[in-house]
Amino acid sequence: MGSTAPPEKKPSVLFVCLGNICRSTMAEGVFRSIVEDPTSSYNDLIGNIDSCGTGAYHAGYDPDSRTLSTLRSNGITSYTHTARQLRDSDFKNFDYIFAMDRSNLSDINQRQNQKKSSGGVNNKTARVMLFGEFSGTDRSEVVQDPWYDDGDEGFKKAYEQCRRFSKNFLAATFPDVPSTTT
């Protein structure tokens, strides 16, 4: 018999930014690369993984080319995504919703509260927080929006943050799993 948890027990994770083409896709690509790597100690421990935007400006678009090139230069070559907007069902379908910055967090919280007050969220509702709560220090971090940057420095920084936050989240969620192989 395999030793993996049954699917319904696996935590599901949704990454959210404004446009769903830069930061949340970076986070999803990085996080997937860790948990879907067959040699990773976290392989097969996570349920559904997705990303979306609070806005719909880029719905239907591929990730920003600078996100994809930053992922590629870090060995992540297979990530694809089609941008979509946050929906009410995300609050019941995901265990964790990670915002990239405080504006995203405020927008998500507002949406979740509207849903609660209209009776739309019942027994299961996502834990919404800044992804940067997992900074590894006593201060949470935000992933700054790199969309308006000329080059890719902001994307490189977002990559580094997303990898660090992912590893810290996984270590906190699975304290008995050795993290050395990620």
Q: Hey, what are 82's tokens?
A: 């089609």
Q: Which of 28, 50, 107, 145 binds ligand 4NP (CB under 6 A)?
A: 145
Minimum Å distance from CB 17 to ligand 4NP? 3
Interface region with ligand 4NP, contact rule CB under 6 A, candidates 13-21, 29-37, 88-96, 164-172: 13-21
- Could you say whether residue 20 binds ligand 4NP (CB under 6 A)? yes
Interface region with ligand 4NP, contact rule CB under 6 A, candidates 21-29, 74-82, 115-123, 166-174: 21-29
Could you list the active site residues?
17, 23, 145
What is the rounded distance in angstroms from the CA atom of residue 104 to the CA atom of residue 111? Answer: 11
- Could you say whether residue 147 binds ligand 4NP (CB under 6 A)? yes
**Are the C-beta atoms of residues 29 and 74 closer than 8 Å to each other?**
no
Minimum Å distance from CB 55 to ligand 4NP? 7
**CA 99 to centroid of chain Cα atoms:** 8
- Could you say whether residue 90 binds ligand 4NP (CB under 6 A)? no
Q: Hey, what are 154's tokens?
A: 């902001």
> What dihedral angle (degrees, nearest 10) is formed by the CA atoms of 13, 86, 66, 42?
10
Residue 16: phi and psi, rounded to 5, are -130, 130
Interface region with ligand 4NP, contact rule CB under 6 A, candidates 11-19, 42-50, 73-81, 105-113: 11-19
- Could you say whether residue 22 binds ligand 4NP (CB under 6 A)? yes
**Are the C-beta atoms of residues 52 and 24 closer than 8 Å to each other?**
yes
User: In which residue are the tokens 């446009």 written?
Assistant: 19
Which residues contribute to the site for ligand 4NP (CB under 6 A)?
Answer: 17-23, 57-58, 145, 147
